[in-house]
Homo-oligomer: A and B are copies of this chain.
Amino acid sequence: MATLSDIGVSALINILTAFAFLLAFAVLRIQPVNDRVYLPKWYINGGRSSPRSGGNFVAKFVNLDFETYLTFLNWMPKALKMSESELINHAGLDSAVFLRIYSLGFKIFVPITAVALLILIPVNVSSGTLFFLRKELVVSDIDKLSISNVPSKSVRQVQYKIFNEYLFAKFSSFSNELWWDYFRFFVHIGLEYLFTIWICYMLYKEYDNVATMRLRFLASQRRRAEQFTVVVRNVPQISGNSVSDSLDQFFKTNHPDTYLCHQAVYNANKFVKLMRKRDRLQNWLDYNQLKFERHSEKRPTKKTGFLGLWGKRVDSIDFYKQQIKEIDKNMALDRQKVLKDTKSILPVAFVSFKSRWGAAVCAQTQQSKNPTLWLTNWAPEPRDIYWQNLAIPFLSLTIRKLIISLSVFALVFFYMIPIAFVQSLANLEGLERVAPFLRPVIELKFIKSFLQGFLPGLALKIFLYILPTILMIMSNIEGHIALSTLERRASAKYYYFMLVNVFLGSIVTGTAFEQLHSFLHQSPTQIPRTIGVSIPMKATFFITYIMVDGWAGIAGEILRLKPLVIFHLKNMFLVKTERDREQAMDPGSVDYPETLPSLQLYFRLGIVYAVVTPILLPFILIFFAFAYLVYRHQIINVYNQRYESGAAFWPHVHSRIIASLVISQLLLLGLLSTKEAANSTPLLAILPILTLSFNQYCKHRFEPAFRRYPLEEAMKKDIMDQTTEPDINLTTFLADAYLHPIFRSFEEEELVEVRVDKVRVDKNQSYSSNAQSQTSDDHSSPSPPHHPTTSPPQDVYHHGFPPQYAYNFSSSTHYGYHYEAEPGNSRD
């Protein structure tokens, strides 16, 4: 096992790595040529259009102002300057609340660290009496500072002695030292109680805060399409009636006073694929044209075979132009098919109401006698919709969910095997046994320390790298129709994976591989003892993990190496106009499916080790503070969220911290039972029950704010609207809010056809094809540029689709799922 000096080496390496990243970031950041990599949010928000620099040609690419190099950490205070309400306006509620998780972690752990270090370290170090576990398990230096050091058999003695004392009333003969042991033991239990109460208090306060913020945010939003709209799934197919007809009929009957209109959904998945292929070809064409412009002496050529490796050599520009022409023809055909074929109308629709109240009522009630038909739910905001999944037949969803949950179970529990194998290698003795020829290298003192401190964490990290993609594909198969839901589901899967494999797997399996034989052949009462004993033993592993993943990883986040490289590659080969450059920008966004569960691991480590090995806490504190700064900087300057869910992820954050609390209590129970102080278990057993009922209470008290829209609020906003803008035409406002983005590229006369079922409702309003232009105008009205919402400014949005949807070969396959292609290219 790792010793204190191993930790020291690891800490040094990671601190150096982190500093190297920060330094690199500081230098790269102030180069004007990187401006769009490190400040894309400001470009998107319209706050910036070009790097601020002198007129010098060189200064356009390299920063010559050497003073700025000296203050290379000045992004930190800058990141802290923006107030929370400004942050919400700037980046949305999701981002602001995401940051609150880090500050919550910091606020929770500062007092815990202080108390734990002040009280527990002296208590544990001073009891140098018994190293009763040494013979059975290898104990590292750091364990001296942990609970392993509290003597176990002596406590039994104490209890027995106390009993004797009590019986014979020989109080004077009772030795001071035993009292001291006894006291030490209950200090741990007392602190567990104290920490639980403190964490619950902070969680309650924070849940209250976030719920209020969410409601205030929703109330402050201006008129938005999703407030009036409900998504209806599984519309029954009545023979002879079109989907549109049965929709109209059903909602006119059952919501006569509030029903306004609906938007049918077309199955355009094939068209989207063609569009995507066309974009790819267009990129190659652009690349070749640019190449030809720069070196006009030679026309670029390519081979037609696979990857251009063999086949006839042709002129590239002509080849791609030909290909694009063909695909355009196909697209035109497919477009006609989508519009004409009734089969391409899916049994899904976006139904809009005259008031928010009507939509709230429809979303929360059951419509039909058969509970699998006419399923209503809040519509996600238009940019949050994952169109592809709307085409999935509703009936297959149940089976899909079953299959996916079985696969997740298999993934979570059988992924363990390779991890355990790698970790058993990371035990140096094991590595030497497997590969004895490496011995001379490994035995070098420095390399040994390096390997022991660095390897286990790194191996794990590599394993985890490909995982989010798999989980996102799995969530995708489950068929959720909103990006935000997809990400939350992927996040949940990742959470279980981290819990079982990284946390429990590291504690149990790591040990199990070391002593598998004795583990299998011992009596059942021995098992909790083994698990309990493993916890403090694994503290060193987790400390290195925190440094590798938490410190160096976060420093890597701010450097944005991958987007930096890709941006410059694109800039070199594809960018012709300023508009192209804008599209080459990849601001990215907070990676919820990966970040939230990782964060939970730090909470869990902090909570579990607070009482057991408090020396781990300062590492976690540094992580929370550093990550807070970095993410605050990134959210302000870089990230551009793809959607706004109004902090819908908070209930998960809350309940998972509670789960960590319960886990810590159960593990402490196991650990204490190894001290043969089983008498103290009833004292601890009450705690999980109380914690879980606290969770129930919070769920009951706050969760509805995240799941349902109260009628009172809806009515209030409706009334406000009526008084401020009594004669707004909602029909035109909602007209194409939920139109598949692909249709925005269609020619106008076709578009009228698509919209025809929207119009049918208010024929009397003389809605003709010349209302077309008016529609787009009205559409921009809900969020004019000056208005503080999180949607991108209208001058971008208005062109068709926000730029983060733009298809480009680097970002679209980031998670194994694809965003819809941006039609702008093909229109120009």
Closest chain B residue, CB of each to CB of A358:
B361
> CB-CB < 8 A to A697: which residues of B?
398
**A705 to nearest B CB, angstroms?**
7
Within 8 Å by CB of A700, from B398, B696, B700, lies B398
Q: In the assembled complex, how far is the CB of residue A296 from the closest CB belonging to chain B, in whole angstroms? A: 66
Complex alpha-carbon distance, A524 and B361, angstroms = 55
* Distance in angstroms between the alpha carbons of A697 and B399 in the assembled complex: 9
Residue from B360, B367, B712 within 8 A of A712 (CB atoms): B367
* A366 partner, pick from B253, B367, B708, beta carbons under 8 A: B708
Q: Using CB atoms, name the residue of chain B closest to A705.
A: B371
- A701 near B372 with CB under 8 A, answer yes
Assess whether A422 is interfacial by the CB under 8 Å rule.
Answer: no
Q: How far is the CB of A118 from chain B (nearest CB, A)?
A: 35
Check if B711 sits within 8 Å of A367, measured CB to CB.
Answer: yes
Shortest CB distance A254–B (Å): 5
With A402-B693, A524-B524, A715-B253 in contact, do A369 and B701 touch (Cβ < 8 Å)? no
| Cβ contacts under 8 Å, A371 to chain B | 700-705, 710
Q: Mark A214-230, 1 if CB is under 8 A from B, else 0.
A: 01000000000000000
A691 within 8 A of B: no
A315 at interface by CB-CB < 8 Å: no
Docked complex: A236-264 residues within 8 A CB-CB of B: 250, 253-255, 257
| Residue A720 CB within 8 A of the other chain | no
**Candidate in A360, A361, A708 with the most chain B CB atoms within 10 angstroms:** A361
| Min CB gap A537→B, angstroms | 23
Within 8 A of B (CB), among A695-738: 696-697, 700-705, 708-713, 715
With an 8 A cutoff between CB atoms, is A826 at the interface?
no
In the bound complex, CA of A690 to CA of B241 (Å): 37
Q: Which residues of B contact A398 (CB under 8 A)?
A: 693, 696-697, 700
Which residues of chain B are near A369, meaning CB under 8 Å? Answer: 215, 705, 710, 712-713
Say whether, besides A253-B715, A257-B257, A697-B398, A368 and B710 are in contact (CB < 8 Å): yes
Copies in the complex: 2
Question: A689 interface residue, CB < 8 Å from B?
Answer: yes
Output the nearest chain B residue to A702 by Cβ-Cβ distance: B371
- Tell me if A469 is interfacial: C-beta within 8 Å of chain B: no
Of B357, B406, B689, B708, the contact of A406 (CB 8 Å cutoff): B689
- For A686, the closest partner residue in chain B by CB is B406
Residue on B nearest A399 in the bound complex, by CB: B693
Residues of B within 8 A of A402 (CB): 693
* Contact of A523 with B by CB under 8 A: yes
Complexed CA–CA distance, A361 and B367 (Å) = 10
CA distance A712 to B693 in the complex (A): 38
A366–B693 alpha-carbon span in the complex (Å): 23
Which residue of B has the minimal Cβ distance to A406?
B689
A365 within 8 A of B: yes
A17 CB within 8 Å of chain B: no
Is A159 on the interface with B (CB-CB < 8 A)? Answer: no
Instruction: Say yes or no: is A364 at the interface (Cβ < 8 Å to chain B).
Output: yes
CB distance from A98 to the nearest CB of B (A): 23
* Bound CA span A689–B702, Å: 33
Q: In the bound complex, do residue A365 and residue B368 qualify as a contact, i.e. CB atoms below 8 Å apart?
A: no
By a CB distance below 8 angstroms, the chain B residues around A713 are: 369
Does B365 contact A708, Cβ atoms closer than 8 Å?
A: yes
How far is B230's CA from A711's CA once the two chains are assembled, in angstroms? Answer: 15
User: Chain A 335-372, CB within 8 Å of chain B: the 1/0 string?
Assistant: 00000000000000000000001001100111111011
> How far apart are the CA atoms of A702 and B689 in the complex, in Å?
33
Q: Note all chain B residues with C-beta closer than 8 A to A715.
A: 253-254
Whole-angstrom CA separation of A305 from B760 in the bound complex: 85
Residue of B nearest to A372 (CB): B701
In the bound complex, CA of A360 to CA of B704 (Å): 19
B-chain residues with CB within 8 Å of residue A364 when the two chains form the complex: 364-366
Give a binary string over A156-190; 1 marks a CB under 8 Å from any B CB, 0 the rest.
00000000000000000000000000000000000
Task: Chain B residues near A215: list those with CB within 8 A.
Answer: 369
| Bound CA span A368–B701, Å | 12
Tell me the complex Cα distance, A22–B406, Å: 54
Is B700 a contact partner of A372 (Cβ separation < 8 A)? yes
Q: Assess the B368–A712 pair: CB atoms within 8 A.
A: yes
CA A689 to CA B715, docked complex, whole Å: 45
Report Cα–Cα, A779/B707, bound state, in Å.
40
Complex Cα spacing A250 to B360, Å = 17
Q: In chain A, residues 653-695, which have Cβ atoms closer than 8 Å to a Cβ of chain B?
A: 689, 693
> Once bound together, how far apart are the Cα atoms of A406 and B697, in whole Å?
16
Q: Are B710 and A366 in contact (CB under 8 A)?
A: yes
CA distance A489 to B825 in the complex (A): 63
Output the nearest chain B residue to A693 by Cβ-Cβ distance.
B402
Instruction: State how many angstroms separate the Cβ of A558 from the closest Cβ of chain B.
Output: 38
A379 to chain B, nearest CB (A): 17
Note all chain B residues with C-beta closer than 8 A to A254: 357, 711-712, 715
0/1 interface trace, chain A 514-555, chain B, CB 8 Å (1 if under): 000000000110000000000000000000000000000000
Chain B contacts for A372, CB-based, 8 A: 700-701
A431 vs B671: C-alpha distance in the bound complex, in angstroms? 43
Q: How far does the Cβ of A527 sit from chain B's closest Cβ, in whole Å?
A: 8
CB neighbours of A708 from chain B (8 A)? 365-366
Residue of A689, A700, A710, A713 ringed by the most chain B CB atoms within 10 A: A710
Residues of B with C-beta under 8 A to A711:
254-255, 365-367
Across the interface, which residues of B come within 8 angstroms of A693, CB to CB? 398, 402
Residues of B contacting A709 in the complex (Cβ-Cβ under 8 angstroms): 366
The 0/1 profile, CB within 8 Å of B marked 1, for residues 497-526 of chain A is: 000000000000000000000000001100
Give 18 CB contacts A-B under 8 Å: A250-B712, A253-B712, A254-B715, A255-B711, A257-B257, A361-B365, A364-B365, A365-B365, A365-B708, A365-B711, A366-B711, A368-B710, A368-B712, A369-B705, A369-B712, A369-B713, A371-B700, A371-B701
A-B residue pairs, 9 tightest by C-beta: A371-B704, A524-B524, A366-B708, A364-B365, A366-B710, A254-B715, A361-B361, A402-B693, A368-B712
Known: A371-B701, A374-B712. 18 other contacts (CB 8 A): A254-B357, A361-B361, A365-B710, A365-B711, A366-B708, A366-B709, A366-B710, A366-B711, A367-B712, A368-B712, A369-B705, A371-B702, A371-B703, A372-B701, A398-B697, A402-B693, A523-B524, A524-B524
Q: Which residues of A contact B (CB under 8 A)?
A: 215, 250, 253-255, 257, 357, 360-361, 364-369, 371-372, 374, 398, 402, 406, 523-524, 689, 693, 696-697, 700-705, 708-713, 715
